[in-house]
A and B are shown apart, each in its own frame.
Chain A
Amino acid sequence: MAQSVKLSGITKTYAAHTVLNDVSLDIQPGEFLTLVGASGCGKSTLLRIIAGLEEADRGTISIGERDVSHLDPQKRDVAMVFQSYALYPHMTVGENIATPLRMSRLSTCARWPLVGMATPGRREALASIGKDVRAVATQLQIEALLGRKPAQLSGGQRQRVALARAMVRRPAAFLMDEPLSNLDAKLRVHMRTELTELHRQLGATFIYVTHDQVEAMTMSDRIALMADGNILQLGTPDELYHRPASLRVAQFIGSPTINCLEAIVTNGVVQLIGVPVANLHEAEHRSVTVAVRPEALRLHAEPGDVTLQATAHRLEHHGADCFLLAMQHDQERMLHARLSPAEASGVAIDQPIRLHFRPAGAHFFAADGLRIEPPFDESAAQAITQRQVGMSA
């Protein structure tokens, strides 16, 4: 049943290129954990190492209480769903699903063509395999397809067959390598729901690899965001979105991308375009990046807001939302703001526009990209205001 997967100090190098750099990860039993990152970040390699298809140079993998670092994939009790589905094209759907069971329940001898026919116990084993295959097929609603070849199936049906082949063994953990990326957009959204539903039903541990942050955000219990062979941040989708540990995390998660502006720090006060926005405890920072989510930018000002001057450039209508692209004046950055259609209707293209945000709703990152937490309590806000007054006097 559902078991924990524990990685510690996984390192993998190809020639001179380090693909995974001392990666450690604790995955809870029954958790849906997503490894997300741009292509080449090492997420697929990590999954293949967990599966046992590749061996790590250093580090250990335990599933449940067992150290499986040097075991064959089958002995690790994991199942994998591949991006290409990797169905055996010469077998029917039923035979495809039965393959993992044939390998485990039939003896080597019984698997031989012709010779195997006479092996004792073969008939009983095949009957039990057939029963399990039908049960899984019923669960995934593909009973009608059992006699077909993969070539006769649609993308979504192949996806289900691949899932069935993974499920039939009741593995300790499911490994999924971008299983939805070959589906069309609509089906992908549908399968997202189905997979989460399936995860809940099975209660099994899912380790899911994707480059699509939307998939990661919508499906996961926790996300491990990877870059250059390291885990940048491990947390719930909410944590990654609302408290990104670094600028790279903030930029990866969220669509459209978070707006970034450069600010200078004098005497511990963050000044954006000459306007103080926050007060820092540590005075050693020279410059910081102020990052604002598109939905944090507003057209109407509230007390204490920071105001950005920009020129409205383009409106993107998405139905319920409308994205405004505006060129910010001082730093010549394209800003994205998420507006309601009602607000957007008042925007005049190529005309100056003011965008406001609350400093407490912004994220601050040091020059090394790490998150800084400026104090945003009342006293700090007052301190800023007082200093502002002092400066203007």
Chain B
Amino acid sequence: MSAAADTLPTEIRQAEPLLSRTRRRQLKGFAFVSPATLLLLLIYIVPLITLVALSLTDYRLGAMATQFIGLDNFTNAFSDPVFRRAFTNTLLYVAIVIPFGVGIALLVATLIHSRIRTRSFYEVVYFLPVTSTLVAMATVWQFILHPRLGPVNAALKSLGFGEFAFLSDPVLIIPTLAVIGVWQIVGFNTILFLAGLSAIPRDLYDAAHVDGATRPLDRFLTVTWPMLGPTVMFVAVTTSITAFKVFETVAVLTRGRYGSEVLLYSLYLEGFEYFQMGYAAALTLIFLAFVLFLSIGQALHLDRRVHY
């Protein structure tokens, strides 16, 4: 090889390629990364920058003149009782949906998992709410929870309880919406947990059985719960994000009346009903920051206790 190179004419041997080897590798790398980068820019980064820019103005849709007003939108938001109520409502909603949405799904999944013949039947039953459109289902819920016509109140009345205005009593309204939220998400979480359960090697249960973990609770604590760690983390994060985005049920069932404002609904009102684009942008940023903070915190916290 070197002998052949020595016999080559000097001009050819010294002729450098147009670009050096490292440079070409770099360019190739950039070429491979560029489509994803471009998409990321178009879909996330540019809109986010626009959003930040908008949130610092008093821009209204169709307005001729727009002013830079600094952080006024944010201070307004936090001093606005409606927004603060939307904020606490959302937190309450999330606080109910996460534990029940995850807990019930885990319970259902462990129960279904040991069924052999009926497993697919239950899978379908629990997954149905996920496949249905929530807007249409909300109407059904409206009927079910109706103070006078609904079967829930009829049942409660027959048991000697009074009549409950689930969708107009300010105390009951957010928990009621949360119950619908749980109903909607349990099926999806169940399927995720079932996938997680199927991935647990049977041998581990056998080993636990021989080691003396005979009771279901011991088996759950020794094998199922720790082995489901990664799944629980994933389900908890997706559930919290879904819960934060609660919108349809509020839009259809209450339209934010009786103190049932939630973050996304007030954002929608400000932006698309009142056309306060600047203010809506500020709310969106607050919403985003909150979801981001919670999911990162949750991921980091759970990550430490989860083995992979």
A residues contacting B by CB (< 8 A) are: 48, 51-53, 72-74, 78-80, 82-84, 86-91, 99-100, 103-104, 108, 111-113, 149, 151, 165
A74:B214 contact, CB within 8 angstroms: yes
A99:B211 contact, CB within 8 angstroms: yes
| Of B155-163, B188-196, B201-209, B296-304, the one with at least 4 CB within 8 A of chain A | B201-209
B307:A72 contact, CB within 8 angstroms: no
Q: Which chain B positions have C-beta within 8 A of A108?
A: 215, 218
B212:A74 contact, CB within 8 angstroms: yes
Q: Which chain A positions have C-beta within 8 A of B211?
A: 74, 99-100, 103, 165
Q: Which chain A positions have C-beta within 8 A of B207?
A: 80, 82, 86-88, 165
Would you call the interface of chain A mostly helix, strand, loop, or mixed?
loop
Interface residues on chain B, number (Cβ under 8 Å): 21
Residue of B nearest to A72 (CB): B214
Q: Which chain B positions have C-beta within 8 A of A83?
A: 203
- B129 interfacial by beta-carbon distance below 8 Å: no
Q: Could you list some 28 contacts between A and B, CB below 8 A?
A: A48-B206, A53-B206, A53-B209, A72-B209, A74-B209, A74-B210, A74-B211, A80-B207, A82-B203, A86-B201, A86-B204, A86-B207, A87-B207, A88-B207, A88-B208, A88-B223, A88-B226, A89-B227, A90-B227, A90-B229, A99-B208, A99-B222, A100-B212, A104-B212, A108-B215, A151-B307, A165-B207, A165-B211
A88:B204 contact, CB within 8 angstroms: yes
Residue of B nearest to A166 (CB): B210
A111:B212 contact, CB within 8 angstroms: no
Partner of B226, one of A72, A73, A79, A90: A90
Within 8 A of A (CB), among B211-251: 211-215, 218, 221-223, 226-227, 229
5 closest cross-chain pairs (CB), A and B? A103-B212, A74-B212, A86-B207, A86-B203, A90-B226
Q: How far is the CB of A287 from chain B (nearest CB, A)?
A: 47
Q: How far is the CB of B207 from chain A (nearest CB, A)?
A: 4
Q: Which chain B positions have C-beta within 8 A of A112?
A: 221
Partner of A80, one of B201, B204, B206, B229: B206
Partner of B213, one of A79, A89, A103, A151: A103
B206:A88 contact, CB within 8 angstroms: no
11 additional contacts (CB under 8 A) given A74-B209, A84-B203, A86-B203: A51-B206, A52-B209, A72-B214, A86-B201, A86-B206, A88-B207, A99-B208, A100-B211, A104-B212, A113-B221, A151-B307
B307:A149 contact, CB within 8 angstroms: yes
Q: Which chain A positions have C-beta within 8 A of B218?
A: 103, 108, 111
Q: How far is the CB of A147 from chain B (nearest CB, A)?
A: 14
Q: Give CA–CA (A80, B201) in the complex, Å.
A: 16
Q: How far is the CB of B217 from chain A (nearest CB, A)?
A: 8
Q: Which chain A positions have C-beta within 8 A of B222?
A: 88, 99
**Which among B201, B206, B214 has the greatest number of chain A C-beta atoms within 10 A?**
B206
Q: Give CA–CA (A46, B63) in the complex, Å.
A: 82
B210:A73 contact, CB within 8 angstroms: yes
Residue of A nearest to B223 (CB): A88
Q: Give CA–CA (A226, B149) in the complex, Å.
A: 70
Q: Give CA–CA (A108, B210) in the complex, Å.
A: 16
**Which among B211, B214, B229 has the greatest number of chain A C-beta atoms within 10 A?**
B211
Q: Give CA–CA (A50, B254) in the complex, Å.
A: 63
Q: Which chain B positions have C-beta within 8 A of A82?
A: 203, 206-207
Q: Give CA–CA (A80, B203) in the complex, Å.
A: 11
Q: Give CA–CA (A149, B226) in the complex, Å.
A: 14
Q: Give CA–CA (A104, B214) in the complex, Å.
A: 11
Residue of B nearest to A151 (CB): B307
Q: How far is the CB of A176 from chain B (nearest CB, A)?
A: 12
Q: How far is the CB of B308 from chain A (nearest CB, A)?
A: 8
Q: Which chain B positions have C-beta within 8 A of A89?
A: 227, 307
Q: Give CA–CA (A149, B218) in the complex, Å.
A: 21
Residue of B nearest to A150 (CB): B307
Residue of A nearest to B306 (CB): A90
Q: How far is the CB of B116 from chain A (nearest CB, A)?
A: 13
Q: Give CA–CA (A187, B75) in the complex, Å.
A: 70
Q: Which chain A positions have C-beta within 8 A of B227?
A: 89-90
Q: Which chain A positions have C-beta within 8 A of B213?
A: 99, 103
Q: Which chain B positions have C-beta within 8 A of A87?
A: 207
Q: Which chain A positions have C-beta within 8 A of B226?
A: 88, 90-91
B212:A84 contact, CB within 8 angstroms: no
